[in-house]
Amino acid sequence: MDNLTNLIWHDGKFLGVTWNVWKAVGWFGNAVFFSRFIVQWYATEKRKQVVVPQMFWWLSLTGSVTLLAYGLFYLKDSVVIFAYAFTWIPYIRNIIIHRRHKAAHRDCASCGKKIPPQSNYCPNCGGKVTV
């Protein structure tokens, strides 16, 4: 048991890594950025078609900004900084597009549920949509 403890925590290092606040920020950014994979996979499996939910873009934005801060303020590494310097632009744009699309949904006159814009028929009740 003592050998296992030494593998996990030894000489002030956890799993062989010297930890500080910025190291935790970097790992947090990695975890958030990775979690978008799980969110997208779940949404796709649930619908049985490729889906990129809005949460995917929020996780992308949060993870990339966190990793940019880690690169800027801790690593001071131009490769990491450049890798995340501009990724936030399409993430924010996709969030805006998602919100505009959701806001454009209308209520079905037959069943009252939300329907996508430009729909000719309600996907909920099958009723013809009139403009």
- 43: pLDDT confidence band, cut at 50, 70 and 90? very high
State the DSSP code for 49. S
Q: How many domains does the chain have?
A: 1
What pLDDT does 78 receive?
A: 97
Within a domain: residue 77? yes
Asked whether the whole model's pTM tops 0.85, one would answer: no
pLDDT at 67: 97
Query: Would you state the structure tokens that stand for residue 125, as one six-digit string?
Result: 């009740």
Encoded tokens for 81: 């900084």
Task: With respect to residue 34, please indicate whether it lies within any of the assigned structural domains.
Answer: yes
Residue 118 located in a structural domain: no
Rounded-to-integer distance, Cα 70 and Cα 23, Å: 8
| Position 39, amino acid | V
Q: Look at residue 28 and tell me if it is in a domain.
A: yes
Q: Please, are residues 117 and 106 in contact by the beta-carbon 8 Å criterion?
A: yes
Residue 57 included in any domain:
yes
Across 32-52, average pLDDT = 96
Range of the domain at 74: 2-85
Taking residues 79-83, what's their average pLDDT?
Answer: 97
Q: Is 36 among the domain residues?
A: yes
Taking residues 88-96, what's their average pLDDT? 97
Q: Which two tokens stand for residue 49?
A: 């078609």
